[in-house]
């Protein structure tokens, strides 16, 4: 099972990374905190101090078009906020 799906790169998460050493990831829905911690430590080579997780449910969306109303659903996902040790950073742009 791939634990880490993708990093969350937003303005808010970038600010948290710079000030608080916290980084966000979209993770597999069934992954627990220990699995997430191990995956981040192996992938980025940092010392993880804490892991906070959040489950987001999918939402119903609809829009009006010429041909009528189109309705659908956004995907549900799980987000993890990782706090790394003092002095360590994760660079998401290093392998571009």
CATH code for the domain of 25: 3.30.70.330
How much is the mean pLDDT over the chain? 93
What pLDDT was estimated at residue 82?
96
What pLDDT was estimated at residue 95?
67
What pLDDT was estimated at residue 1?
65
In a domain, 91, yes or no: no
Max CA distance (Å), the chain: 56
The model's pLDDT over 22-65, given as tens digits with 9 standing for 90+, comes to: 999 999 999 999 999 999 999 999 999 999 999 999 999 999 99
Coil, strand or helix at 10: coil
In a domain, 95, yes or no: no
Q: What is the 3-state secondary structure (H, E, C) of 31-91?
A: CCHHHHHHHHHHHHCCCEEEEEEEEECCCEEEEEECCEEEEEECCCEEEEEEEECCCCCCC
Segment 6-24 shows an average pLDDT of 94
In a domain, 41, yes or no: yes
In a domain, 96, yes or no: no
Give the total number of structural domains in the chain. 1
In a domain, 27, yes or no: yes
Instruction: Report which of residues 10 and 93 the model is more confident about.
Output: 10
Q: In this structure, are residues 76 and 56 in contact, taking their beta carbons and an 8 Å threshold? A: yes
Which domain covers residue 26, as residue numbers?
A: 4-84
What pLDDT was estimated at residue 48?
96
In a domain, 39, yes or no: yes
């Amino acid at each position: 099972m791939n634990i880490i799906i993708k990093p969350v790169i937003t303005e808010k998460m970038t600010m948290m990374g710079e000030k608080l050493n916290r980084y966000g990831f979209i993770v597999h829905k069934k992954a627990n905190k220990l699995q997430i911690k191990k995956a981040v430590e192996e992938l980025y080579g940092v010392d993880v101090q804490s892991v906070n997780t959040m489950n987001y449910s999918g939402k119903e969306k609809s829009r009006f078009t010429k041909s009528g109303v189109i309705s659908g659903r956004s995907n549900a996902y799980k987000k993890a906020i990782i706090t790394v040790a003092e002095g360590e950073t994760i660079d998401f742009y290093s392998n571009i």
